[in-house]
Amino acid sequence: MNLSAIRHRSTGSDCYALDENTVVLQLWTAHDADAVTVFSEDPFIQAIDHRHAWKAVPAKMEVLYALEHHLVWSIELTPAFKRLQYYFVVESGDERVCVFENKVCPEAERDRISTEYFKFPWLNPSDVIAPPAWVRDTVWYQIMPDRFARSRHFADNGKFRAWGDFSSPGFNDLYGGSLQGITERLPYLRELGIGGIYLTPIFLSNSYHKYNTFDYYTIDPDFGTEADLKALVQTAHGMGIRVMLDAVFNHCGTEFFAWKDVCEKGRRSPYFDWFFINRDDFIKPDDFTVGDGRYFAFSFWTGMPKLNTNTPEVRRYFTDLCVHWVRSYDIDGIRFDVADEVSHTFLRQMNAAVKAVKPDIFLLGEIWFDAIGWLNGYEFDSVMNYPFTGCLSDFWRDGTLTAQDFMQRLHFSRSLYPRQINEVVFNFLDTHDTARARENCRSQNELLQKLAVLLCMAGTPCLYYGTEIAMRGKRTPYNRSTMPWDDIDAGKFSRFQSKVRALIAVRHACPDLRRDKMALRYDENHPRLVRVQKGDILLTVNATGADVPVTHGEILFQNGLRGGVLGKDGVLIEQVLS
């Protein structure tokens, strides 16, 4: 037996409370494991009948995920007295080993050295990770306000480029999209099936993207006013659409009041500790990047000095700001930019303050890797799921990967987090930080396949504005071009749009698609035919490069199906008997 592959920690996704009565355990083994049994009981159970020895109750575990090099075994237990003490027995052929916190050993040698059991100390209801329930049923839509829509009342003052003119675009070109423009296009989003909009930053800055914020309390006049934001949120709520703002607290812009004061006064400034300044001669106005360590900035850009969220005054300032946003605008979510670089101390303080005002607000972190350290229930409710995006990209890019490879990689991304996190993790194909999804597809049909996977998986899916019409754009700023509303209104994209709208409608109509459990139906004759079953819903994606005969039940969505044959780059969603 491959003992080095066996691992478990009584924390994170290996051991967590699913609800106030249920504890989930996971154990990782190599593929040579035939069976796993967990032995568990209350750690003090012997006190009831005054026994000297602790006696555990066995229960068989099941394989939850089959990964490339591991099996992940899982079980749900309901401890009667809210505590658990446990260990595992792993079987492989005639071999049996015990897995304790301090050792993995043959069963016959379990008592040779002291034994440390795993423990779940107490099931506190207030410690159960409980993201807002509404999030898992929401389909999001990411908007860059300057590039999404002008208002009907737009007045050109000469500072904006012509809408749609992306010939030789500059990095600071403005096009005149606004909050009013978004409000006027909400019926379009409601018809598409969108339940939440995520706005990139909208506060005062000298850039079109506003990630170098000057004033976090002032709506940028390029986008509108406080009244415009309040009207947008109120109108969206009236249509059943939630609103999430982008919070840039890792860094600020050079006109932020605290940075300006530090630049003027140096160490005499009361805001000196708001930043990471390492030398007194830190100001060199002509520099575009700062790579010599005189002060720290986001990605070395001088225009984005890094904020020190370890400083109590900084934490208090931005915590109060988040509370202000919630109270003043009634927003439903906050997405935190470069979330992995701000302090955990700040995030815990902010979470407590904001949840006290609006308990079901959604707190989302931009983290590009395994983020279990931020998903403990006291910081973020969810993170942007880049491992999921990479899984989809790799499968369609590399024609040697099979459906089994695809599922193993998808399962790995799900193995990172507890179930309740997987049901709200933020899934997407593209964002303002990536090439547009259409750029990585050979055809619109392939993009529909990826959208079908996105919308049939657990998590809260997000479309980047324009993905529903297969907009293109590989590099910044081309991936941030303006929405072609004249062509949209003229029906130029109606065929593709109708397919995306139908996919979203299927997701809304089928609760099983929004849950975490799924199974792969593997076809050895067609190794790149992906068939995923979720309840009585079967998703079939034909990435084989050839037509494939399929049998089907009640068709909920199809693209490329002719009779009983699913064409290459085709996708089918059907309701079948389990």
337 is catalytic: yes
- What is the SS3 string spanning 34-65? CEEEEEEECCCCHHHHCCCCCCCEEEECEEEE
List C-alpha distances in Å: 36 to 407, 455, 516, 517: 22, 34, 22, 20
Instruction: Say which of 146, 246, 332, 366 is annotated catalytic.
Output: 366
| Cα(275)–Cα(308) distance, integer angstroms | 5
| Cα(232)–Cα(366) distance, integer angstroms | 24
- What three-state secondary structure class fits 363? strand
| Cα(224)–Cα(382) distance, integer angstroms | 29
Amino acid at 370: D
| Cα(431)–Cα(425) distance, integer angstroms | 15
| Cα(532)–Cα(146) distance, integer angstroms | 39
- Give me 80's structure tokens: 């009667």
| Cα(249)–Cα(235) distance, integer angstroms | 28
Instruction: Say which of 42, 146, 337, 516 is annotated catalytic.
Output: 337
C-alpha dihedral sign at 371, 375, 380, 383 = positive
Look up tokens 């900035």; give the residue.
Answer: 297
Q: What angle do CA 383, 75, 137 make, to 5 degrees?
A: 35
- Work out whether strand 382-383 and strand 362-365 pair parallel, antiparallel, or are unpaired: parallel
| Cα(355)–Cα(359) distance, integer angstroms | 4
Residues assigned a catalytic role: 337, 366
